[in-house]
Amino acid sequence: PFCHCLKFLCHMVTVYDQENFQGKRLEFTSACQNIMDCGVDNIRSLKVECGAWAGYEHSSFCGQQFVLERGEYPHWESWSGSNAYHIERMMSFRPICSNHKESKMVVFEKENFMGRQWEINDDYPSLQAMGWSNNEIGSMQVQSGAWVCYQYPGYRGYQYIMECDRHGGEYKHYREWGSHAQSFQVQSLRRIQQ
């Protein structure tokens, strides 16, 4: 339901209910809406074996978002990045569909696709270094692939996952970026890698 390319791309994640890949261990190849339905109270470490995933603080894909690419995440801090609030919870997750090489999006200075615009098809650890005039993005239109935007330069702070397959790729106000978004502040962004 989330990703039309799921049938072509492998996705696999192994989650553990204790830190450092200890405790109860579960494998998934598709979305999990509530880890408690699998008899686990929380995810405390994980290994992405294949594909890219989005993790969420709450069940039903709500709350803080965490982009998860292939590799090992031994504890909450290893996937959360630096965030304004520290709640060691990941209760749901789902695969992300992304074609890293062909990702394209347009960022707009103002909400509702207004103001100055800029077409992007690369990673930007500092938008300002590349000529964007301030520390905010008003709205975004994802034309292909999946992206992660960050509050601070160098891929730090809140993560906002943006996909062409969701919302029709349209994110016209920060209220559509996720329930944890509290401002238009975005200072770096990059393509999500399978």
Residues binding a second copy (CB under 8 A) = 48, 67-73, 77-84, 123-130, 135, 148, 151-157, 187-188, 190, 192-194
- List of residues 6+ apart from 193 with CB closer than 8 A: 52, 69, 70, 98, 100
Q: Helix-strand-coil percent breakdown of the chain, rounded to 5? A: 10, 45, 45
**For residue 181, which amino acid is it?**
A
Q: How far is the CB of 106 from a second copy (least distance, A)?
A: 21
Per-residue tokens: 77: 């801090």
Q: In whole angstroms, how close is the CB of 79 to a second copy at the nearest point?
A: 7
For the sheet containing 104-110, what is the strand order?
Answer: 114-120, 104-110, 139-144, 170-171
The residue among 60 and 134 lying less far from a second copy, judged by its C-beta, is 134
Cβ closer to a second copy: 16 or 73?
Answer: 73
Residue (of 153, 28, 163) closest to 92 by Cα position: 28
Tokens linked to 44: 């405390």
Contact yes or no for 181/162 (Cβ under 8 A): no
Instruction: Report in angstroms how near the CB of residue 178 gets to a second copy at its nearest.
Output: 17
For a second copy, which is the closer residue by CB, 35 or 127?
127
Min dist. Cβ of residue 155 to a second copy (A)? 4
Q: Report, in Å, the least distance between residue 39 CB and a second copy.
A: 27
Q: Which is nearer to a second copy, 59 or 78 (CB)?
A: 78
Which of residues 42 and 135 has its CB atom nearest to a second copy in the complex? 135
